Amino acid sequence: MKFPLVAIRPEPGLSATVGRAREMGLEVTGHPLSKAVPCDWQLPDSLGFDGLLVGSANVFRHGGEQLKNLQHLPVFAVGEVTAQEARAAGFVVTVEGQGGLQQILDMLDETPRHLLRLSGEAHVPLKTPRHIQLTEIITYRVQHVPIYKELSESLNTGACVLLHSAGAAEHLAQEVEQLGIARQNIKIAALGPRIANAVGTGWGKVESANQPNDAQLLALARDMCQ
């Protein structure tokens, strides 16, 4: 059976995923089940930081005018998309990671640093090395929306859902449970193991991409569902 591919991430990432899928010869239907919205936040009293640690491009999309006061600080970005948004906002990117913020912290030399972590309301806890001091500020949050009729019908008949975040995974699981949709009819292609764990059990199949990027996720979904 050929399962249709469904992406539920918010814009603008949703359009990027659909576009990349088309480049790979895949057809993905987009159904955004969340959106990022800005939070009210204040700059710390002290601006004695050595850099910004950023795990999402949404920080630069929704951080607001206050970000301009931090443009003198180098950015330690979780990945390519976040780095691109940082540069577009006028920042200089010192590190462009590939395996998560924890990997960035672990790879830094033992020079003492005080980093300002700008993040969303839901974010991954980090183990801070002894030589790094970390101050955290929440700049945005994600609002989830219910599964609507068209998507519910699609999931009931069988689909392969692309999951880009643990929050989306938990929201999908809750909605499917509430609507009585059969989990065994749905396959899950997750961007990473933490996301796969967050979606829970009972699905037709759950697998994680080898690397946390769209190309690997879409390749996984193609192998799983077609």
Q: What is the pLDDT of residues 109-155, one digit of tens each?
A: 999 999 999 999 988 899 999 999 999 999 999 999 999 998 999 89
Which CATH number among 3.40.47.10, 3.40.50.10090, 3.40.50.1820, 3.40.50.620 corresponds to the domain 5-33+145-225?
Answer: 3.40.50.10090
86 confidence band (pLDDT: 50, 70, 90): very high
Q: What is the mean pLDDT of residues 79-92?
A: 95
pLDDT at 1 over 70: no
Domain 36-142, what architecture?
3-Layer(aba) Sandwich (3.40)
Look up tokens 């939070």; give the residue: 39
Q: pLDDT digits over 148-185, tens only?
A: 998 999 899 999 999 999 999 999 999 999 999 999 99
How buried is residue 166: exposed, middle or buried, by Cβ count under 10 Å (0-12/13-18/19+)?
buried
- Residue 106 CA, distance from chain mean position: 20
Q: What is the mean pLDDT of residues 73-99?
A: 94
pLDDT at 226 over 80: no
Pairing of strands 34-38, 132-144: antiparallel
Q: What is the mean pLDDT of residues 54-60?
A: 95
Q: Which residues of the chain form CATH 3.40.50.10090?
A: 5-33+145-225, 36-142
What per-residue confidence (pLDDT) applies to 122? 86
Give the number of residues written for the chain: 226
Look up tokens 């950023």; give the residue: 54
What per-residue confidence (pLDDT) applies to 124? 85
186 confidence band (pLDDT: 50, 70, 90): very high
**Spatial separation of the C-alpha atoms in residues 1 and 187, rounded to whole Å:** 12
The token pair at 5 is 């591919």
What per-residue confidence (pLDDT) applies to 103? 93
What per-residue confidence (pLDDT) applies to 62? 96
What per-residue confidence (pLDDT) applies to 212? 85
What per-residue confidence (pLDDT) applies to 46? 72
What per-residue confidence (pLDDT) applies to 96? 94
What per-residue confidence (pLDDT) applies to 142? 92
- Residue 6 CA, distance from chain mean position: 16
pLDDT at 99 over 90: no
What mean pLDDT value characterizes the chain?
Answer: 93
* Own/partner long-range contacts of 38-44 (Cβ < 8 Å, ≥24 apart): 38/62, 38/63, 38/64, 38/139, 38/140, 39/121, 39/138, 39/139, 39/140, 39/141, 41/66, 41/137, 41/138, 41/139, 42/66, 43/69, 43/70, 44/116, 44/135, 44/137
